[in-house]
């Protein structure tokens, strides 16, 4: 059993790619993705798009202002 075999019943994530598609294409995607993610380590340069992010905190319980939440 692979690590991604159990989550194919879930809905699409924020990238709009269905988990079943990722599972079925895992072998084909592994090599290109590894090249993409290794390139910054080899060159020492991170693409500008990777530096920009929107972080949305998810509050589980308690006060939103509590940093331990």
Q: Is residue 21 part of a domain?
A: yes
Q: Is residue 65 part of a domain?
A: no
Q: Is residue 62 part of a domain?
A: no
Taking the CA atoms of 7, 8, 12 and 15 in sequence, report the sign of the dihedral they define: positive
69 residues of the chain, pLDDT tens digit each: 455 555 667 777 777 888 888 889 999 999 999 999 999 999 999 888 888 888 887 777 778 777 776
Q: What's the domain count of the chain?
A: 1
What predicted TM-score, i.e. pTM, was given to this entire model? 0.51
- Domain that includes residue 33, residue range: 1-9+17-42
pLDDT value at residue 32: 95
Q: Is residue 37 part of a domain?
A: yes
């Amino acid at each position: 059993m692979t690590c991604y075999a159990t989550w194919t019943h879930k809905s699409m994530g924020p990238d709009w790619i269905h988990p079943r598609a990722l599972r079925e294409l895992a072998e084909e995607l592994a090599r290109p993705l590894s090249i993409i993610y290794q390139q910054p380590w080899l060159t020492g340069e991170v693409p500008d798009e990777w530096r920009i992010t929107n972080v949305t905190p998810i509050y589980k319980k308690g006060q939103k202002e509590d940093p331990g939440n």
